[in-house]
Amino acid sequence: MGQFLRDVYDELRKVVWPTGPELYRYTMVVIFTVLVLGVFIGGADYFLAEAARRTIYNNGAH
């Protein structure tokens, strides 16, 4: 267990952590991407559900 923790410590010392501005930029990219995909998936869900409702309603009316 001790060797494992030493190895973990050694690996963490090799990590290049992002600077403040890089972290901010990456965070903004993630938030923007999540919002765009959320709107796209929500819109697709709405239109597909509406198409299904209309198909079911029209087939039931005939």
Cα end-to-end distance, the chain, whole Å: 72
Q: Which residue has the tokens 């965070």?
A: 27
Q: What is the pLDDT of residue 4?
A: 97
| pTM above threshold 0.85 | no
Q: Which tokens belong to 39? A: 């709107």
Q: What is the pLDDT of residue 47?
A: 97
Q: What is the pLDDT of residue 42?
A: 98
- pLDDT tens-digit readout, 11-31: 999 999 999 999 999 999 999
Give the C-alpha separation, 32 to 26, whole Å: 10
What residue ranges do the domains of the chain occupy?
31-62
Give the C-alpha separation, 40 to 49, whole Å: 14
